[in-house]
Structure 1
Amino acid sequence: MKPLIAAAIAALAFGPALAEDNRASPLAESHIWNELRADLVGEIDIADAAGRFEVEAPYRANDAATVPVTIRQTDPGLTIRGATVVIDDNPAPLAASFTFGPAMAPLDLEIRVRVNQYSNIRVIADTDQGHLMTGRYVKASGGCSAPATRNPEEALAGMGEMRLKHFSQAPTMSTARREAQIMIRHPNYSGLQRDQITQLFILAHFIDRLELWQGDEMLFTMEGGISISENPVFRFSYTDNGAPSLRVIARDTEGNVFEHDLPKAGQS
């Protein structure tokens, strides 16, 4: 069989399967969510978020320890005051709880999380029209126990360093919206990882509180858990109020507090 013909047959045979593997998948039925829902979010009424906001995540993750999840508002008339991110089948399902300031509207936020096994990633938003939920089913495994990318000494030496990157120019009279990314150096140990030399478990040590401000205006806060990835990254859009810098305050479970003013004019 000629190589080109063989390649064409292979493409026809495997193309649909590959497309199926990489498409986004809606939330799947989850008995774990049914059991944990009251403990995680209480006995609140939750409606379908269809048409209000969407969650983007890969159907099959390239790296279970760093899975990108984007929350994007699609209804500009909605006010999203906060959001809770739940990964049903993770050892600690409550990944993070966010509170948003007015400058984050309309919401467009990407975070990176660990996924321990095939699981729903769901977002429950607190809005002016009640609690709304949507999410994605993600195929990934081993994210919470995946080895850290640096040895403990190296990871702790750079802990608390931060960088700010903007993907859009400074605002003009016609628009004040900007897209930015905050990167924080922190091992965010889950408690399920082993030291690659001693093979002993590394104690959990992660950022559990994050605040982001521009001047005196709060952009967002986060209460986080072990499911937020190593070296957390937050990419988001916001309305620039003219303050010269963004102030980031991060606290971790060991009581360390890291605070930086990152100039908007360039990378820091």
Structure 2
Amino acid sequence: MLGRYFRLLGAAALLTGVIGACPLPAAGDEAYDPWPGLVQDIFNNRPMNDGSGVIAIEMPARAEDAAIVPVTLRTKLAPTDNRRVLTITLVIDHNPAPMAAKFELGPDAHVSEISTRVRINDYTNVHAVAELSDGKLYVTQTFVKASGGCSAPAAKTPDEARNQLGEMKYRQFAGSDEAPGDKSREAQIMIRHPNNSGLQMDQLTQLYIPAFFINELRLWQNDSPVLAMEGGISISENPHLRFTYVPNGAGLFRAEAKDTAGHVFRNEWKVDTSGS
């Protein structure tokens, strides 16, 4: 669980940015590379293989808004490859809680692309680590220039956020005509939630807002798993996932989300099974 990789400390610790499994470098220490320590803490020092032919990560080189930085993870296994991607872990090296999210791909959903939005606290490498059915880990990385995303003020007031807490929307996109015979579809889940990072300050009280975020999201076609996410403070306010998968003919799409306060949110939608 993500709780293993970070701790939420008091305001004094927040002021110094001391959150997470690894100590942060002193200000201006540009040579500091947290990745070796993160491999040990998050992946138990398992060997990391070149993932350039397995997983791709796409992010802007310089983010327009550090609080909502788009990220897309795309699997690259050839159709003839017998291996399967089991999980993808997204690590933002210099964030206070580096492990941003872990995605578990449904065994029969053939998820090939996942997009979401994240907070970036400082100029950083971002790693995507795919675990395959061969038992090995494969890693790729990119570099993003952004800062201040984890402490950026929330877009809504606490009262507004509470009134809409847990509202879910599902959107299904038309199938692509670019590849004949491609049965994959795109869908998107959006959840109303402040996803407070614990680093944001209440502008009225001048006190830090406690961390409060979606830490689990699960999606199904009827009862067949599509995608699951363990999330942390790096996932942006009002989390959303856009993903590509292969429908199994189910007429119902279901979602269940849980947050760190113990709330459980559920919804389901009838879906178009025509493939158009």
Question: SS at the partner of 1:71?
Answer: strand
Deviation of residue 256 (structure 1)? Answer: 0.2
Contact 1:177-1:237 at 8 Å conserved across structures:
yes
Q: TM-score, normalised by structure 2?
A: 0.81
**Structure-2 residue corresponding to 1:32:** 34
Counterparts of 2:101 and 2:152, CA distance in 1 = 20
Contact 1:169-1:178 at 8 Å conserved across structures:
yes
Larger radius of gyration: 1
- 4+ residue stretches of structure 1 with deviation over 6 A? none
Deviation of residue 161 (structure 1)? Answer: 0.5
After superposition, the C-alpha distances for 1:15-42 in whole angstroms (9 at most, x for unaligned) are xxxxxxxxxxxxx986211123211111
**Structure 1 pair 29/126, CA: closer, same or farther in 2 (3 Å)?**
farther
**Structure 1 pair 131/29, CA: closer, same or farther in 2 (3 Å)?**
farther
Question: SS at the partner of 2:36?
Answer: helix
Question: SS at the partner of 1:31?
Answer: coil
Deviation of residue 175 (structure 1)? Answer: 4.5
Percent of aligned pairs with the same amino acid: 46
Contact 1:63-1:143 at 8 Å conserved across structures:
yes
5+ long unaligned stretches in structure 1:
1-27
1:3-82 → structure 2 map (5 Å cutoff): 31-76=33-78, 77=81, 78-82=83-87
1:77-226 → structure 2 map (5 Å cutoff): 77=81, 78-105=83-110, 107-129=112-134, 130-169=136-175, 174-226=181-233
Contact 2:109-2:225 at 8 Å conserved across structures:
no
Deviation of residue 153 (structure 1)? Answer: 0.4
**Structure-1 residue corresponding to 2:265:** 258
Deviation of residue 251 (structure 1)? Answer: 0.4
Contact 1:103-1:238 at 8 Å conserved across structures:
no
Question: SS at the partner of 2:209?
Answer: coil
Deviation of residue 170 (structure 1)? Answer: 10
After superposition, the C-alpha distances for 1:236-267 in whole angstroms (9 at most, x for unaligned) are 0111112122111000000000000023249x
Amino acid at match of 1:126: E
Aligned residues: 238
Question: SS at the partner of 1:144?
Answer: helix
Deviation of residue 106 (structure 1)? Answer: 5.1
Contact 2:59-2:144 at 8 Å conserved across structures:
yes
Superposition CA RMSD, Å: 2.1
Amino acid at match of 1:135: Q
Counterparts of 1:250 and 1:51, CA distance in 2 = 32
Question: SS at the partner of 1:149?
Answer: coil
Deviation of residue 231 (structure 1)? Answer: 0.3
Normalized per residue, the structure richer in helix is 1
Q: TM-score, normalised by structure 1?
A: 0.84
